[in-house]
Structure 1
Amino acid sequence: MSTLSIFRKVAVAEGISYLFLLFIAMPLKYWAGLPLVVKYAGWAHGVLFMLYIVVLIMAWTEYKWKIGKALLIGLASLLPFAPFIVDKRLKEDN
């Protein structure tokens, strides 16, 4: 399995965890009084975010991406739907 395919899978998982945290866990915390959902979803998202950054660095060095591309992909992890766009673009580039 290539680093790029691993990165794409991690990007999708990280994107899903971010959406879950924002649109399911946070409302459950504030509207249903269930703070543990945020605790565990936040923990899982944090692990996936760190994995995203580590595998991004691996892909950046292996595929010799320009720094701008790597930074843009890294910043994409901060926007809710951007990891899915990154996945699509990387699939098209490949």
Structure 2
Amino acid sequence: MLRLFRFVALIEGITTIALFLVAMPMKYWLGNPALVPPVGMAHGVAWLAYVLGMLACFPGKGFTVWQWVRTFLVAFVPFGTFLNDPMIHRREKDLQGQAALKA
């Protein structure tokens, strides 16, 4: 499940970059707002999927309250999901190692 969340986080991060570094500069610097609605909608859907993904994928995986809060807050910071990914990846590897020990 954490692999799915990491994929959703990647998409959320990419849409944030597209919105802030492509669509909004085109609107404000070049006077062409054509990309803002579709990219903004894609980013909104990706952000909702990110939050819902947290609620679906994190319970029972051993994340601390701080890790939950951190993961939620980085969704508001450009590049935040990319900076948070190593923490999620480490937890995913830890859980895989635990599962291998039980098998």
**TM-score normalized with structure 2 length:** 0.82
Which deviates the most, 32-41 or 46-55? 32-41
Q: Which runs of 5+ in 2 are unaligned?
A: 94-103
Identical aligned pairs, as a percentage?
32
* Aligned-CA RMSD value: 1.3
Identify which of 33, 38, 47 aligns with 2:31: 33
Deviations 1:63-85 (A, max 9, x none): 14222211110101111111012
Q: Which runs of 5+ in 1 are unaligned?
A: none
How many residues in Structure 1 have an aligned counterpart in Structure 2? 92
Q: Which has the larger radius of gyration?
A: 2
Match in the other structure for 2:12: 14
3-state DSSP of counterpart to 2:60: helix
**TM-score normalized with structure 1 length:** 0.89
Any residues of structure 2 matched to 1:61-72 within 5 Å, and which?
61-72=59-70
Q: Verify the 8 A CA contact 2:9 2:81 in the aligned structure 1.
A: yes
1:30 and 1:10 map into 2 onto residues whose CA distance is 28
2:16 and 2:82 map into 1 onto residues whose CA distance is 11
Give the AA of the match of 1:53.
V
